[in-house]
Amino acid sequence: ETGVTQSPTHLIKTRGQQVTLRCSSQSGHNTVSWYQQALGQGPQFIFQYYREEENGRGNFPPRFSGLQFPNYSSELNVNALELDDSALYLCASSLGFLAGEGTGELFFGEGSRLTVL
């Protein structure tokens, strides 16, 4: 069983640039969530995709956007990068949330560490 994989593992951007982070969900999982973890903090929910549709969003501005593909892999896009966007971005997959689909526990990838200069 393949776990959650993310790419790239590290990247450096400058303010104003755009970034795309990628995630392959665990085999059999149809739901992908993205979290931002600032240094010394717990992860903060960005949004979730369920069967290719955004299915919930946290308190992040519209310049954070995403996609989920038919194979359930996902992308996180951040436009107009700001210094405060520097963080570890975590992707987590799960087996949905509807009755019978699972108990919702999240399985995380290793993360993509973004530094904005």
Partner 1 sequence: GEDVEQSLFLSVREGDSSVINCTYTDSSSTYLYWYKQEPGAGLQLLTYIFSNMDMKQDQRLTVLLNKKDKHLSLRIADTQTGDSAIYFCARGRLYNFNKFYFGSGTKLNVKP
Residues that bind partner 1 (CB under 8 A): 4, 6, 31, 33, 35, 40-45, 48, 50, 55-56, 58, 90, 92, 94, 97, 103-111
Distance in Å, CB of 16 to partner 1, minimum: 28
Which are the contacts of 57, defined by CB distance < 8 A and separation ≥ 6?
A: 46, 47, 48
15 versus 34: smaller Cβ distance to partner 1: 34
Task: Label residues 24-55 b or e (16+ Cβ within 10 Å = b).
Answer: bbbeebbbbbbbbbeeeeebeebbbbbeeeeb
Distance in Å, CB of 117 to partner 1, minimum: 20
| Calpha distance 45→57 (Å, rounded) | 7
75 versus 101: smaller Cβ distance to partner 1: 101
Distance in Å, CB of 42 to partner 1, minimum: 3
